[in-house]
Amino acid sequence: DRRGALLDRNGYPLAASEAAFNVMVEKRAWEDPAEAQAAADSLAEVTDASSAEMLSIVADTEAFEVPVVRGLNYGQGVAVRELGLYGVRLLEGSRRTYPEGNLAAQLLGFVGQENSGLTGLEIDLDSILGGNPGQVTYERDGIGNQLAFGARSETPAQPGANVVLSIDRYIQRVAEQELDRAISDNEAKGGTIIVIQPKTGQVLAMASRPTFDVTNPDLSDNSKQALFRNRAITDTYEPGSVFKVVTMAAALDLGVVSPGTWWFDEGVVHVSDWSIYNWDLSANGSQTVQDILSKSLNTGAVWLANLSGSAGFYDYINRFGFGVTSDSGLSGEVDGRVRTPESDPEGWRPVNMATNSFGQGIAVTPLQMAMAVAAIANDGVLMKPQLVNEIVGPLGTQVVEPEAVRQVISPETARTLLDMMGVVMDGASTAYIDVPGYAFGGKTGTANIATENGGYKPDAYISSFVGIAPLGEPEIAVLVKIDEPAGVPWGTVVAGPAFSRLTQRVLAYLKVPPTKEVFVSELLD
């Protein structure tokens, strides 16, 4: 009943099973304390297990025979057999290995002593990976002995199926490297990077920090178990200005504005008893709708939401997939929170829509935000996030087809918004954000971090960036989220460089031809 492997999209094993041995001890063989101690000490020398722990396991069991050491490799198994200890035998089984080390640890998860999944995809796909151990049924006499010529039936063991994931091990490693560098450079507390293939919704990379040692997870320390969770789907955050692409999409698709529509920015918007200012406290006078996105004007986002109306604005938020799980199939995925006049008629106020327009007062998961951006890159079609590409079992191969959720905005609106995101990046500081040789679109974000009591953490921010590349025929949609950087919090400075480096490396790996001329000076930067 060998457990199936988890493979990357190109067939490289990310989690696999190899032959292993469990050491079984008969309880009666260790009844004499001195003999038991000597046997346990001998086993400890060749297995690296604790003799005290083995003695305790045998003493505490009521069973005739008990496993005292699990998962020995072939060499250790041979060494145990050569000891020739009375009442000790080897039982062949298998153990889980992770050939790429800690790559995608939270996504893959790990198995327990019985080789059953405990976290991540190991538990979500357990029934597929685990197979069936098989069964023998035979007829007995009145005192339980098998009848020599009695009825007998046998169900053969069924090996587990291999599962081909959407993850690309190279892109996953690049994502983790760039996430680690961004966290280190900015002395941040953690973060997430997600890379999506827009046309299919396939997840090419999903990386989160902090992480854990997937080969030796610490189950004894409750404080360490928070590291096991896949923060891309279990944790929510207020996205900040990256959410302005959703606000813009709604207004464009409803036809209430176009990129060239003029608007006057007074630098402040009064909503009931609240005053909302731009992030830099600027008042910019006459501005176009393109300027609202390029300069990331909070006041302009509020104006766009008001033009869309609360019914229209929240309809598009729902259509983009916020407020409900993305149906990724990953356990622990949360809905996020979108407060609307319908969902909370008592508590909702117009100021909620105002702050929602620039990504505050709304809770989303990193995966929800990444999929919404991927929809813009996919002619306005929101895809279901896909993590499994194929299931390869003894009876054949089952191919998982990409699944469209809905047309969120028209293809024309999506292309207009893509172009606008490209203009944003054309005017961005290339010292921080640049992908030499490629036209790309993006939006930065810097958001306050909500506390459980309803306020915000002082001097604590989430810096993020969402990007699409290349603009003409998008191959990847990327989300970079960095938690609580120690220095300046701006998404441009904190998250932008990670997007730039990752995108350049990934597009080269995917052999995507450059879309514009590259100057040598750009490459030397």
The tens digit of pLDDT for each residue in 432-477 reads: 899 999 999 999 999 999 888 878 999 999 999 999 999 999 999 9
First to last CA, the chain: 54
Average pLDDT of 388-414? 96
Q: How confident is the model at residue 138 (pLDDT cuts 50, 70, 90)?
A: low
- Both tokens of 280, joined, read 């830099």
Residues contacting residue 106 through CB under 8 Å, at least 6 positions apart: 119, 120, 208, 211, 212, 227, 228, 229, 230, 231, 232
pLDDT exceeds cutoff 90 at 224: no
**Per-residue pLDDT reduced to its tens digit, 148-199:** 667 767 667 778 999 999 999 999 999 999 999 999 999 999 999 999 999 9
Residue 377, classed as helix, strand or coil, is: helix
DSSP state, 111?
B
Residue 202: is its pLDDT beyond 60? yes
For 256-285, the pLDDT digits (tens) are 999 999 999 999 999 999 999 999 999 999
Compute the average pLDDT of residues 92-109: 92
Dihedral angle, C-alpha 243, 247, 252, 258, nearest 10 °: -90
Residue of 37 and 218 predicted with greater confidence: 37
Write phi, then psi, for 120 (nearest 5 degrees): 60, -155
- Residues 514/437, Cβ–Cβ less than 8 Å: yes
Is 522 a residue whose pLDDT tops 60? Answer: no
Report the pLDDT value the prediction gives residue 152, as an integer from 0 to 100: 67
**Main-chain dihedrals φ then ψ at residue 467, nearest 5 degrees:** -145, 160
The amino acid sitting at 14 is: L
Identify residue 403 by its one-letter amino acid code.
Answer: E
Cα distance between residue 204 and residue 196, in whole Å: 6
For residue 143, the model assigns a pLDDT of 72
Contact 134, 1 (CB under 8 A): yes
Distances (CA, A) of 291 to 152, 295, 297, 300: 79, 6, 8, 9
132 pLDDT band, cuts 50/70/90, is confident
Cα 293–Cα 301–Cα 502 angle in degrees, nearest 5: 40
Q: Is 80 exceeded by the pLDDT of residue 356?
A: yes
Helix (H) or strand (E) holding 191: strand 190-197
Quick check: 523 pLDDT over 90? no
Q: What is the pLDDT of residue 144?
A: 64
- Give the per-residue pLDDT at 127: 93
pLDDT at 125 over 80: yes
Q: Where are the beta strands (DSSP E) in 29-140?
A: 65-72, 88-97, 135-138
Report the pLDDT value the prediction gives residue 213, as an integer from 0 to 100.
85
**pLDDT band per the 50, 70, 90 thresholds, residue 239:** very high
What's the pLDDT tens digit per position in 5-37? 999 999 999 999 988 888 999 989 898 999 999
Strand-pairing partners, residue 72, are: 21
pLDDT tens figures, 478-516: 999 999 999 999 999 999 999 999 999 999 999 999 988
| For residue 98, pLDDT beyond 60 | yes
> Nearest to residue 7, comparing CAs of 16, 327, 443, 490?
16
Token pair belonging to 259: 């990129």
Q: What mean pLDDT is predicted for residues 129-148? A: 71
Q: Which pLDDT band, with edges at 50, 70 and 90, does 133 fall under?
A: low
Percent of the chain, pLDDT > 70?
Answer: 94
φ, ψ for residue 185 (rounded to 5)? -60, -30
Location of structure tokens 């976290």 = 119
- Burial class (CB within 10 angstroms; exposed 0-12, middle 13-18, buried 19+) of 86: exposed
User: Which tokens sit at 256?
Assistant: 């209430």
* Residue type present at position 94: S
Q: What structural domains does the chain harbor?
A: 169-524 (3.40.710.10)
If you write DSSP's letter for every residue of 427-452 in order, what string do you get? TS-TTTS--TT---EEEEEEEEEE-T
Structure tokens that stand for 3 in this block: 């457990």
Q: Which amino acid, residue 384?
A: K
The mean pLDDT of the chain is 92
471 contacts 442 by C-beta, under 8 angstroms: no
Residue type for 199, please? K
**pLDDT recorded at residue 159:** 82
More confident residue, 118 or 476: 476
Average pLDDT over residues 214-235: 83
Which pLDDT does position 521 carry in this prediction? 52
Residue ranges of alpha helices (H) inside 260-349 are 289-294, 298-319
pLDDT single digits (tens) 296-333: 999 999 999 999 999 999 999 999 999 999 999 999 99
The three-state secondary structure class of 165 is strand
Per-residue pLDDT for 428 more than 70?
no
